[in-house]
Amino acid sequence: MTSTCFTVFRKCAEAVADGKLIHRESARDKEYHFQNWCQSRLSETGLNYDEPRRNSYPDFTLVNYPEGYEIKGLEYPGREADFDANSNVPTGVHCGRTIFYIFGRYPKSQNEPDYPLTDLVLCHGDFLNADHDYVHKNKHVKGFGTYGDIMIRDRKMYVVPTPFRLIEGSNAHLTLVVPEDYEAPDDFQCVGELVRVESDRLVTQYTFDLQSNDIRIGTEPNPSAGTEHRFKAWRLKSQPATEVRLAVEQ
């Protein structure tokens, strides 16, 4: 299977080797500096993409390929084991497009406006979650409060492990993780084979008690329990061949 992800990853690796830094426009730029860096790499590939919009998902949708890229920048040291997904549960397919995630770690905020990328993982969304059927929806109920005229909005936030928690061997390296059937170009080397196994049970519902502030979940057996999802980790042959493997505790 051919994909743009190898081309995008190659441009990221070349940019790091060439010393292309992340640039923060101002101290208020808490989110978009790494996204802008990734956008420059996409532009360098020559691929056509739609301009990102606030709250759009994924951040970049390609025009001539049914693929998209979601960008997640992580300060280091800082929160790196998981991230908040406010609008969509990560997965490898969204609205008919294959979705890739680009996770980049960079030094914690400092006075300098320019700084290097510490490490990066570009991964297929299925590595984070392989369920393509769940549809995210925000719901609401009315009648809350003393006068019964307050609405409660159920706006879901999903907290998802990052690849820096899921795998070992990615620190200080650039790594690409895709399903095992993806065919890599000749200038890539495989540095790891990763298998994620579906859990025995699935959370199918939750309830919240407004008086006790307790939340309870309901689960059901997973009909696909034990199914293995196989991935390979890749790097350019010019990069270190440090082995990538699943972390013991995920």
Q: What is the distance between the alpha carbons of residues 118 and 12, in angstroms, rounded to a whole number?
A: 12
DSSP character for 116?
A: -
Give the 3-state secondary structure of residue 146. Answer: coil
Q: Is residue 216 part of a domain?
A: no
In the chain, alpha helices (H): 5-17, 32-45, 163-166
**What secondary structure letter does DSSP report for 125?**
G
DSSP classification of residue 187? T
Largest CA distance in the chain: 68
Domain count, the chain: 1
Query: Is the pLDDT reported for residue 163 higher than 90?
Result: yes
Asked whether the CA dihedral 223, 225, 230, 233 is positive or negative, the reply is: positive
Is residue 211, in this structure, part of any structural domain at all? no
Q: What is the pLDDT of residue 26?
A: 63
In a domain, 235, yes or no: yes
Q: How many CA atoms lie within 13 A of 167 on its CB side?
A: 31
pTM comes to 0.92
pLDDT band at 249 (very low <50, low <70, confident <90, very high): low
Per-residue pLDDT tens for 120-142?
Answer: 999 999 999 999 998 888 899 99
CB 215 within 8 A of CB 206: yes
Q: What pLDDT is attached to residue 112?
A: 77
Give SS3 for 1: coil
What is the domain extent for residue 148?
5-196+228-246
Dihedral (CA of 234, 236, 238, 239) sign: negative
